[in-house]
Amino acid sequence: MPISQKIIEEINKNTHWSNEFKELLLEILNKEETVYSCKKEFEKLVEDFLSKEEGEIDD
Amino acid sequence: MIKIDEVRFLNYRQYRNFSISFKDNKSNLFVIRAKNGTGKTTFLSGILWCLYGNEYLQNEKKALKIVNEKVATEASNDQKIVVEIAIKVATPENYLEITRKQQFVVKTDLFNNNKTVKESGKSNLYVTVSSLIDKTNSQPYEGVEAENIIKQYFDESIYNYFFFDGEKLQSYFDKQNANMIQNSIFNISQINLLKDAIKHIKELFKETEKRIQKEFNMDENLYAKRDKAIEDIEKIEKENEELEKEKNGYDEQIKDYENKLRGYNPVKQKQLERERLERSLYNLNIRKKQFIDDRNKFIREYTILLNFAPRIKKTMKLIELKREEGALPPSIDKEKLQDMLNNNVERCPMCNSPVTDSVLKYIHEILQRLDYSQETGNTLNQLYVALETMMFKIERYEEEKAKIIAIEKNIRDEEQNIEDALNQIRKFMLSYDVDIDDINPSEIEALLSKAKKGRDWVVGRISSNKVRIEQLIKDKEDLEKQIKEEEDSKVLKGKLVRKSEIYKNIGDSFAFVRDEIMKRVKHEIEMSTWETFNAMAWKTNTFSGIVINDNYEVSVLNKNGKEMTGSLSGAESMALAYAFTLAIHKASGRNCPLVVDSPLGRVSDENRINMANELLKVSKDKQIIMLFTPDEYSNDVSDVYDNIVEIKNISLTDDESEVILVGDLYE
């Protein structure tokens, strides 16, 4: 089931969250909905998020 | 809007071969009219069975099998009958064909011709999802996947908010239903999804925190310790530089004093003799150092040998005993001897001597005595030689010890003799208290002695400082290694700390979104329920609002804000039930159809018209299929619906074995 419009709206309402963080939240929810061992997938998503963050700092 | 286009039955109870379409109508409202006992409720049960494999009958145990009675009666023994119900549903996204099938087998009792119907396996659900544009583009699903599709549209946990009996609507506000509703709303609004995600994120956060605590027990003093070691090394090295200068100063003084004494004839020979003795003492010290090493080696070696002497002796005796018994093979391989016997050789392959019968007999005897292989025999022989060498050394212990003691004594004596000679020269020099040509040997000797003492102290200090420096360098290197490891782990720790922060932020954010959605969904249901209830209830001056608590229990408030749910009339309770049901539909985000048996229940008088009108309004953007008896579909109701809704009359055949579509029931 796709993530409901209500959740997307509520996430987007929070203007103090970065777009990357909002994307991360939605990706995690998608994994929770579709993947059986979602914890491993969560870790991977957070690690990707952190390496992007590190890349930005390096730049 | 989600619409049921068609329902098709095969061999299901009274619905032997029946199909009903809800496609073409002026409105989204449909009426199925049937007399009591002619399959009105069975129609609803059939839909439930198709979607969930459960008819939700009140007394399931006492119910007949779902196979059409006439079909079962007409079947022969062992004949298989398939019961099938298919529902075609049009959604805004796609087209669903939902089918459930179950196979039965008929068994005939040969004595009395009685027939029994038995299930031949469980029922199976199939869902075909087709594109709205191109129906040939379809994807079939079955089992769990098919059930998941049904869950998206008609969640079973709230099935009676899609398909229900109007006469039982009031029971939908029972507490146990409130829990079910809450859970279902949490499912459809994905609050449960958020809750699960929060749970998993919290677990990851805790795991990361534990890892940080376990793996990164940092020693913040390492840098201070390393810096102190560097500081100490520098300090001692500086001190040694000063001491070296001091030593050079003493050396200069000593050289000067010795030159003076060497240049003064009365004491020249004594001074030269002293210099010779000092060289001898220097060489003796080198020998002494070598001797101390040798003595220590001797002590270590003999400590082991003397401790093991009893065992060495015992092992040697054991090997000797085996040798005496002839259990150890001679230098010829046991296998080669065996080959000689086996191959009946004429000449010995080793020495070329003729192999006579007596030789063969001898070889046979040797082989019988040999307990060990050649390899073991060789090892034992080598071991014996080694043990023999050890024993030889042990036997020479006293002799060797005497040698060591003699050498030590010799060195000590020699050292003593030199020291004595040097002391005598020193005394001589000190007593030579004559001041001629500004040279006084006694004074020079005193100064020389002082300079030598000073230099000896300085040399000792430099030497102990060097040992300290070596130790400090080693400490510094160890600390630097630890610091490198800590710094590497700090980077990793930093990453883990950031990771745990992110987990915490994610968890907090999800919790925030969850709470907001819970509030929002509850508020939407409250508002929507109130809107519909207010429209359906004809009293305009009694109610002020509807409140739904966190457990999804519904309360109606009177004008004074007091709860009056318990005081509602039958019609008002029904209005509330409709209002709440429609609100749940709205909250689910899926505009599902309503299939209602006895939609006006026991509502009477003008309230019936009011509610019928309200349902007509609702049907503008929602499909409603209503099942009436001809009595329930009274004139006042028909005044509202006739010419707008399509009425489908169903009835039983004359033999009452199956349902068919008929003309007007009143005709």
User: Measured between CA atoms, how close is A12 to chain B, in angstroms?
Assistant: 10
Q: From residue B132, give the alpha-carbon distance in Å to each of B3, B90, B137, B138.
A: 13, 8, 9, 10
- Contact yes or no for A11 and B193 at CB 8 A: no
Q: State which of A3-7, B28-32, B186-190 shows the largest mean pLDDT.
A: B28-32
Q: What is the ipTM of this complex?
A: 0.93
Alpha-carbon distances of B569 from B66, B101, B543, B581, B583, rounded to whole Å: 38, 43, 13, 18, 21
Residues of chain A with C-beta less than 8 angstroms from the C-beta of B505 = 21
pLDDT in tens, B417-435: 999 999 999 999 999 888 7
Query: What does each C-alpha distance from B210 to B198, B204, B258, B498 come to in angstroms?
Result: 18, 10, 75, 14
Rounded mean pLDDT of chain B? 87
- Phi/psi at B3 (nearest 5 deg)? -130, 140
**pLDDT, position B667:** 43
pLDDT in tens, B337-358: 778 778 878 887 777 788 888 8
The whole-number average pLDDT for the span B405-409 is 96
In this prediction the pTM is 0.57
| Residues of chain A that touch chain B, judged by Cβ-Cβ distance less than 8 Å | 1, 3-7, 10-11, 13-14, 17, 21, 24-25, 28-29, 32-33, 38-39, 42-43, 46-47, 49-50, 53
Chain segment B577-630, per-residue pLDDT in tens = 888 888 888 877 778 899 988 888 777 777 788 888 888 888 888 899 999 998
Helix (H) or strand (E) holding B555: strand B554-558
Assign A19 a pLDDT band (cuts: 50, 70, 90): very high
Q: At residue B326, what is the residue type?
A: G
The answer, yes or no, to whether residue B45 has pLDDT greater than 70, is yes
- Specify the pLDDT at position B600: 84
Residue of A nearest to B498 (CA): A50
* C-alpha distance from residue B249 to each of B242, B245, B252, B253, B451 (Å): 11, 6, 5, 6, 9
| Subunit contact A6:B189, Cβ cutoff 8 A | yes
| Owner of token pair 């004491």 | B267
Rounded percentage of chain B residues whose pLDDT exceeds 70: 95
Residue B556 and residue B563 in contact, taking contact as beta carbons nearer than 8 Å? yes
Compute the distance between CA of residue B560 and CA of residue B544 in angstroms, rounded to an integer. Answer: 8
What's the rounded Cα separation, in Å, for the pair B576 and B235? 92
How many Å apart are CA B261 and CA B361, to the nearest integer? 94
DSSP state, residue A2:
P
Q: For B152, which residue in chain A has the nearest alpha carbon?
A: A1
CB contacts, 8 Å: A17 with chain B: 509
CB contact under 8 A, B505 and A21: yes
C-alpha A4/C-alpha B188 separation (Å) is 9
pLDDT tens, residue by residue, B544-586 = 899 988 778 888 998 888 888 888 887 888 888 888 888 888 8
Q: Region B449-474: what's the mean pLDDT? A: 95
Taking the C-alpha atoms of residue B210 and residue B205, their distance in angstroms, rounded to an integer, is 9
For chain B, positions 164-203, list CB contacts with chain A under 8 A: 189-190, 193-194, 196-197, 200-201, 203
SS3 content of chain A, % helix, strand, coil (to 5): 80, 0, 20
